[in-house]
């Protein structure tokens, strides 16, 4: 979004371009300084020490400079890595004698690498007790994210099982996949698919698939926040109860943030209220903290919360599981 006038008049932002920082001058005479993070779809993102990230329309910039070399991509796909020293006669000029480029030919600044960037994690946890109490539990989860400039593919799975005196006391499993097609730097089209099994909730299989739209508020290594909304087709196959299928609205959130010493807070949730009876909703969330230990190995403390406002007969509405796991991320 364009910069609001009330922000531009802040004296703290009126720092000359000659300071040891990146900076831009606007066509209305205002000057901003900070760190230029990126430019895509005609919007430049500058991070200021005073107000955080600021979005600036590229065609409103009169002049620009960077304190260090920066990656500039042209409309033809060429990449120039050099320090920007200004805009002269409609051309972006670089240091180290790199030839100028027309500012209208600049498609992106600091574009993401071509192709997909892969990341993810795998966790496992176990508890065994013998003696007066004979019990055990096993929990495992994994998730993979493939990200390119326009696409994001997330796939994952989780499993939990607990026994006491050789009898199962809990068991559930879930696999899921989500796809996002970014149509701007922040807005995206979204689709999702999931399957869930939990015999202790009389749920032989819950399948859910749908599509909608999403908005990515933040998409950095240290902070990510996105929301999705749309419609899903849901099918519940029960062991004892009557099977059912219904259309549901879907609202989902994904959040992660690095807080200290590499520790990451995370939360993901999904709400599925049926269109013809929104009070009979299903809610699922996964929240916790992931703490780095050494060489990519981490420890995870997590809370799984599942809530069904209209569960099968003689079943509780909510299930809460606390897990402690060790895993590896990449």
Which domains are assigned to the chain? 5-109 (no CATH), 117-329 (2.40.160.40)
Per the document, the length of the chain is: 330
Mean pLDDT of all residues in the chain? Answer: 86
- Largest Cα span, the chain: 84
pLDDT band for position 114 (50/70/90)? low
Q: Which H or E run contains 8?
A: helix 5-8
Distance CA 194, CA 196 (A): 7
pLDDT of residue 133: 67
pLDDT band for position 2 (50/70/90)? very low
pLDDT of residue 20: 55
Q: In this structure, are residues 23 and 32 in contact, taking their beta carbons and an 8 Å threshold? A: yes
Q: By mean pLDDT, which of 130-139, 172-181, 232-241, 294-303 is the weakest? A: 130-139
Distance CA 291, CA 325 (A): 11
pLDDT band for position 3 (50/70/90)? very low
Question: Could you tell me which residue, 14 or 152, shows the higher pLDDT?
Answer: 152
Distance CA 205, CA 238 (A): 7
47-100 residue pLDDT tens: 988 878 889 999 999 999 999 999 898 888 788 888 999 999 999 999 876 788
- CA-nearest of 119, 208, 114, 203 to 155 is 119
325 has pLDDT over 90 = yes
Distance CA 66, CA 104 (A): 18
Q: By mean pLDDT, which of 10-19, 165-174, 312-321 is the weakest? A: 10-19
Can you give the pTM of this predicted structure?
0.67
Q: Phi-psi category of 101—alpha, beta or left, where left has phi over 0 and alpha has psi -120 to 50?
A: beta
Which positions ≥6 away from 96 have C-beta within 8 Å? 82, 83
pLDDT band for position 5 (50/70/90)? very low
pLDDT of residue 132: 66
Distance CA 81, CA 68 (A): 10
């Amino acid at each position: 979004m364009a910069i609001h006038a009330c922000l531009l008049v802040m004296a703290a932002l009126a720092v000359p371009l000659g300071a040891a920082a990146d900076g831009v001058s606007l066509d209305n005479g205002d000057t901003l300084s900070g760190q230029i993070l990126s430019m895509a779809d005609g919007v430049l993102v500058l991070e200021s020490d005073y107000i955080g990230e600021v979005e600036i329309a590229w065609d409103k910039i009169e002049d620009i400079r960077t304190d260090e070399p920066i990656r500039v991509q042209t409309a033809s796909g060429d990449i120039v890595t050099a320090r920007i020293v200004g805009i002269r006669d409609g051309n972006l000029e670089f240091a180290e004698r790199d030839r100028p480029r027309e500012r209208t030919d600049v498609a992106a600044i600091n574009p993401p690498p071509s192709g997909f960037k892969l990341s993810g994690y795998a966790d496992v946890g176990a508890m065994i007790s013998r003696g007066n109490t004979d019990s055990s539990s096993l929990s495992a989860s994994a998730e993979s994210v493939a990200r390119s400039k326009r696409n994001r593919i997330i796939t994952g799975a989780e499993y939990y099982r607990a026994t006491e005196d050789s009898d199962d006391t809990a068991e559930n499993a879930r696999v899921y996949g989500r796809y996002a097609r970014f149509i701007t730097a922040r807005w995206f089209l979204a689709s999702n698919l999931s399957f869930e099994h939990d015999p202790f909730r009389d749920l032989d299989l819950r399948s859910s698939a749908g599509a909608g739209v999403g908005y990515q508020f933040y998409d950095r290594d240290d902070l990510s926040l996105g929301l999705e909304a749309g419609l899903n087709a849901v099918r519940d196959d029960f062991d004892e109860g009557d099977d059912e299928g219904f259309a549901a609205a879907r609202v989902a959130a994904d959040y992660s943030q690095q807080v200290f010493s590499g520790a990451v807070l995370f939360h993901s949730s999904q709400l599925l209220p049926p269109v013809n009876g929104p009070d009979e909703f299903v809610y699922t969330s996964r929240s916790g903290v992931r703490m780095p230990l050494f060489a990519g190995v981490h420890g995870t403390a997590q809370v799984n919360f599942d809530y069904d406002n209209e569960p099968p007969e003689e079943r509780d509405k909510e299930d809460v599981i606390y897990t402690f796991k060790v895993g590896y991320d990449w």
